[in-house]
Structure 1
Amino acid sequence: MSRRGHVPRVFVDTPLAVGETLDPGDDKRHHLATVLRLGVDAPVTLFNGDGHEYDARIVKAERKRMTLAVEARHSPERESPLSITLYQAIARGDRMDFALAKAVELGVTAIRPVFTERGKVKLEGERLAKKQAHWQAVVESAAQQSGRLVCPPLEAATALSDCLDRDTDHLRLMLAPSATGGLNALTRTTHISLLVGPESGLSDTEIDNATAAGWQPITLGPRVLRTETAGMAALAALQSLWGDLAG
């Protein structure tokens, strides 16, 4: 459901302009026409990540083709003032889907899936390509559902060891149950990178290497959280402290 009644929101990876028409593509056409059973003259809300939202209307609905006409542009304030890049250890099945979807809902700016030493998911070649496409669909769906004006970029999965030196201009935080400090001890900032380990946690070597590279270990409290819960909890806490969840 969109933020304006029951008008569906659809992410399209194409430029949008008032007065122009577009074909939403086979997948989006199937969703609108077959799943939602929408026909000619039905309203649709479009966004493409340019920071705006567009009112559109179905002007042609055929079995293998649909045309949308863009009628108006809006610029609501829905994006967080925080820029948060999530380094999410790859988890099994629904856990990874959940972690990605909730990260998008909570305003994450970019997502980097990472392979870790204790991670139990082994992917490469065609299997990895299919999984990456699946994750992209999860991210787009979450952006549509949550009213985001951007669809956070999902980078290609890579080994954690290959990206510890990235984002050196960010406050780089690593969730580690053994850490002694929490979020309330940090100095407020707007650019953050957050590293969330796998179900079995980051290895001692990974924690040591990340710390040496400038990542700061933090704890979320005395309880052990699953990987899909830990990222969600940390993002919600950061948005409450410095972002837009506080209202």
Structure 2
Amino acid sequence: MSRFYSPTPIPNQQRWALPDAVFHHAIRVLRLSIDDEITLFDGSSTEYHVKIVSVTKQAAEVVLIAQSTENRESPLTISLAQALLNHDKMDWVIQKAVELGVKEIMPLMTERSMVKLTQDKVKPRVERWLNIAISACEQSGRNHIPIIHTPQSLESWTSHLSIDKKVVLHPQASVTMRELTYQKGESVVFAVGPEGGFSPEEMTLLARYQFSSIRLGPRVLRTETAGLAILSVAQQLWGDFTS
């Protein structure tokens, strides 16, 4: 059954009109029609199973069949700080990170980033990333939309960061993920550098802010692979991959 995110709170009533964004996707794009059933969610823990009962060129109405409270969120409060990548790679990382259960995604502007965003491109790019995150929630069954932050410089980001455990991936680190200590309930952020990695100066900055350096095995992973790999390992070791 198709799932759709409602950007406005779902009303406490038996029948209502679909929000414009849902109407466009469900009716105009997917060509759903009267008597088709869909699932709606609005960012709370509640899902709404509804049936389409009225369709015009401009609007559609649904009636409530059932509602349920579903918690498919990871037990980990986990964030990914990803150095900016080109369009397709960044889109892919955001989509998959959401599927893997991140609570926040923090795009970083770093010394070796190949992508440089001008001020006029920041807002539309963040809106694009948010839409990708919403689509990933619709597909994966998540009811809560992760936070997608505006890109920041590494220095600005680290100076305002308030997270229990801070980790940076580095292929020459001596510590592996299994050796990293974790206490249940801790918030965790994984920082992943650009194609050329964090510069020595950036690694010094991260160490100053108590980031632990870890490696992921003997092979050097591409930046778009590394973040998703570490999220998967975290879910296996500490999260819900085994539940």
* Aligned position for 2:131: 137
Q: Tell me which of 121, 127, 136 is aligned to 1:127.
A: 121
Matches within 5 A, 1:28-107: 28-107=22-101
Equivalent residues of 1:18, 1:71 under 8 A apart: no
For 1:170 and 1:65, how far apart are their aligned partners in 2? 47
Give the corresponding residue for 1:228: 224
**2:164 aligned partner, one-letter code:** H
Q: How does 1:156-235 map to 2 (within 5 A)?
A: 156-189=150-183, 190=185, 191-235=187-231
TM-score (norm: length of structure 1)? 0.91
Query: CA deviation digits over 1:203-237, x for unaligned, max 9?
Result: 11111101111111111111111111111100000
Helix, strand or coil at the partner of 2:148: coil
Name the CA distance, whole Å, in 1 between partners of 2:106 and 2:15: 34
Structure 2 residue aligned with 1:4:
none
Structure 1's unaligned 5+ residue stretches are: 1-6
**What residue ranges of structure 2 are gaps of 5+ in the alignment?**
none
Conserved 8 A contact 1:17-1:70: no
Identity of aligned residues (%): 37
Mapped partners of 1:22, 1:181: distance in 2? 55
1:239 maps onto 2:235 in alignment: yes
- 1:73-108 alpha-carbon deviations (Å, 9 max, x no partner): 212331111010111111001100110011000001
Q: What value does the CA root-mean-square deviation take over the aligned residues?
A: 1.6
SS of the residue corresponding to residue 81 of structure 2 reads: strand
User: Match of 1:202, as an amino acid?
Assistant: F
Instruction: Report the AA paired with residue 32 of structure 1.
Output: A
Tell me, what secondary structure is at the counterpart of 1:129? helix
Is the Cα contact below 8 Å between 1:172 and 1:194 reproduced in 2?
yes
**How far off its partner does 1:150 sit?**
0.8
Match of 1:3 in 2: none
User: How many pairs are equivalent?
Assistant: 241
